[in-house]
């Protein structure tokens, strides 16, 4: 992973060249769609909410680098932001990384996260939704990863899940401050907060052309309401 991050951060031609000349995504997959969509747009603007390290399990990173997208990437976890996300995009013209999360209004909000590990599987579980994080423990996902990586899980519940007050920025402030007038892609991965993010962006008005979000952690009712919003718009 460190090698991939270094190659990407340096905009190494080996990295971009691979995806430009040797990358052939399987038909009818998300990669296939993104590949065709990216190549069809001469001026591509993306907003990514919950960017994490910017590369691991990230469906859009290779296209951002290959096709020189413009856009804004938000990540509220300080260590992840400084060590990975900012580093990966600091030399990419047109890309702005912001140490914050999206919310209803500018301010601060409590983020729940794994308190004893900063590996990618753990940081990827950080969420505003405490219930979803607890569910990862109940389902055995956290224990399985601890066993896989030889990590001792603390017995104290307060050490298992910790909180951090993080900066919140509203979509209105974000788009005005970054002078974003169109959104080709709204990319969301916020561990159960995805439906809220879609509502926050008022898509009837902001009109993103494509939205990629995760519905795994949404309730049945949230999935239904989210589909309804997307269908109506």
Is the pTM higher than 0.75? The answer reads: yes
Q: Rounded mean pLDDT of the chain?
A: 94
Task: Read off the tokens for 58.
Answer: 């990230």
For residue 129, name the pLDDT band (cuts at 50, 70, 90): confident
- For the chain, report the end-to-end CA distance as a whole number of angstroms: 39
Residue among 206, 209, 164 at smallest CA distance from 44: 209
pLDDT in tens, 53-63: 999 999 999 99
Task: Read off the tokens for 168.
Answer: 């919140």
Dihedral of alpha carbons 166, 167, 170, 175, sign: negative
Does residue 128 carry a pLDDT above 90? Answer: no
**Cβ within 8 Å of residue 163, ≥6 positions away:** 110, 111, 112, 113
Dmax (CA) for the chain in angstroms is 53
Does residue 1 carry a pLDDT above 70? Answer: no
Domain boundaries, the chain: 26-107+170-232, 110-164
* Residue range 103-110: mean pLDDT, rounded: 95
pLDDT in tens, 142-174: 999 999 999 999 999 999 999 999 999 999 999
β pairing state of 45-49 and 70-74: parallel
Question: What homologous superfamily is domain 26-107+170-232 in, according to CATH?
Answer: Vaccinia Virus protein VP39 (3.40.50.150)
């Amino acid at each position: 992973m460190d090698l991939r991050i270094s190659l990407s951060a340096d905009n190494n031609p080996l990295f971009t060249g691979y995806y430009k000349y040797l990358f052939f995504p399987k038909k009818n997959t998300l990669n296939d769609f993104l590949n065709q969509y990216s190549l069809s747009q001469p001026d591509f603007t993306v907003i990514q909410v919950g960017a994490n390290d910017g590369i691991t399990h990230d469906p859009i990173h290779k296209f951002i680098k290959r096709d020189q997208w413009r856009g804004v990437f938000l990540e509220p976890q300080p260590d992840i932001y400084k060590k990975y996300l900012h580093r990966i995009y600091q030399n990419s013209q047109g890309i702005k990384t912001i140490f914050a999360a999206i919310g209803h209004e500018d301010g601060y909000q409590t983020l729940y996260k794994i308190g004893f590990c900063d590996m990618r599987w753990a940081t990827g579980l950080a969420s505003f939704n405490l219930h979803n994080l607890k569910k990862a423990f109940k389902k055995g996902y956290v224990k399985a990863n601890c066993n896989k990586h030889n990590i001792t899980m603390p017995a104290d519940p307060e050490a298992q899940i910790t909180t951090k007050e993080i900066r919140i920025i509203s979509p209105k402030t974000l788009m005005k401050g970054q002078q974003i007038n169109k959104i080709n892609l709204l990319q969301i991965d916020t561990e159960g907060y995805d439906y809220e993010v879609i509502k926050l962006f008022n898509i009837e008005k902001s009109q993103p052309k494509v939205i990629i979000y995760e519905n795994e952690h949404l309730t049945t009712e949230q999935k239904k309401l989210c589909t309804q919003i997307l269908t109506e718009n």
